[in-house]
Structure 1
């Protein structure tokens, strides 16, 4: 399923199915090349060649490689949210706090290990965000908040308090998981376990 949200880096949204398929091929090629060459060596020309499209097709959608990678990051976030939502739905309405936190962490780790390009561009592009609204962790926190808010006890002030707690959890997990995957390409199991323990302790009390 493609993103229901148009990334701000996308010059124009595809209208026809053929155009949408071409955009998907471009993003797939970008992800593959990130694993092979890294972000610094990534070029729009190489992406066009890998995707089998004219270079003009890339520039039709994107101004430069940063815009391209940003769109890939947005697609990754959409797919992560879909995976978490499907897992929460499959586990049922009575899913407890521990299982909710496990779903959030497990789906990220699984994508980190298996999704092309995700090791370098997960939900954000290397380098500083151009604005607070573009900060990857704020975007991730917003999506997670939307997924788990229905599981929070109904009481005054829960909405903003939960959003703040989710953001803190995302920031802490981001730092720990970066360390886990820097020390081990598959993710250091001990550091992932520490991240899980931290998230259970911090987010568990506010979840049903």
Structure 2
């Protein structure tokens, strides 16, 4: 067999391996999410995740070095999913002002947290690594990316280091206050805190 014919066959031989790899990663992430919905985070470990995914622990470690890497991957996937969903809706809708857009973005994020308890556990419990959090705090990522796009397209705000900093501070403040709101036992108190958060961030970003 010539080297040329072997080279031509390599992509065909790799494709099934790549598909199996993607399938394994997907199984691990789904298993982790399922466990987070049923168990306290401390009870979720790589052994349980592998068993839930129908894999050996060794197979899991081929793709993830430890539990934190899996948690980060689950969290980042949720953030990317949320941003993609909201980009289709929010950036194509007509909002009269920055505070109105911000309020709808926060409402949508709360709805997403309520609908995805696995992500809620990670996001509100401080269980996402600093590196993963930083990746989603970049100007074009996560909720900050949606805010930036709206401010540029609808309000004519120019990119700047000051805007980057203000968006990062707004996201950091928002995450901490949302966690504080969820820690309240009374639903009415939670709503009050979230309403005040909207007013506070609107003044900071748009006044």
Does the TM-score normalized on the shorter chain lie above 0.5? yes
Partner Cα distance (2:105, 2:138) in 1: 11
The number of aligned residues is: 186
Partner Cα distance (1:46, 1:118) in 2: 18
Q: TM-score, normalised by structure 2?
A: 0.75
Q: Answer with 118-127 or 29-38: which moved more.
A: 118-127
Is 1:167 paired with 2:146? Answer: no
Match of 1:180 in 2: 181
Partner Cα distance (2:107, 2:36) in 1: 23
1:119-160 alpha-carbon deviations (Å, 9 max, x no partner): 22128862763xxxx16267235324433334334466x421
1:96-140 alpha-carbon deviations (Å, 9 max, x no partner): 3133212331222112111141122128862763xxxx1626723
Is 1:139 paired with 2:136? Answer: yes
Larger radius of gyration: 2
Give the counterpart of 1:31 among 30, 33, 58: 33
Instruction: Identify, as 1 or 2, the structure richer in helix.
Output: 2
1:178 offset after TM fit, Å? 0.9
Match of 1:8 in 2: none
Between 1 and 2, higher relative CO (CA 8 Å, sep ≥ 6) is seen in 1
Q: TM-score, normalised by structure 1?
A: 0.75
Q: Contact 1:88–1:100 (CA<8 Å) still a contact in 2?
A: yes
| Structure 1, unpaired ranges of 5+ | 1-13
Q: Contact 2:76–2:136 (CA<8 Å) still a contact in 1?
A: no
Q: Secondary structure at the match of 2:111?
A: helix
Match of 2:115 in 1: 114
Match of 1:46 in 2: 48
Q: Answer with 119-128 or 72-81: which moved more.
A: 119-128
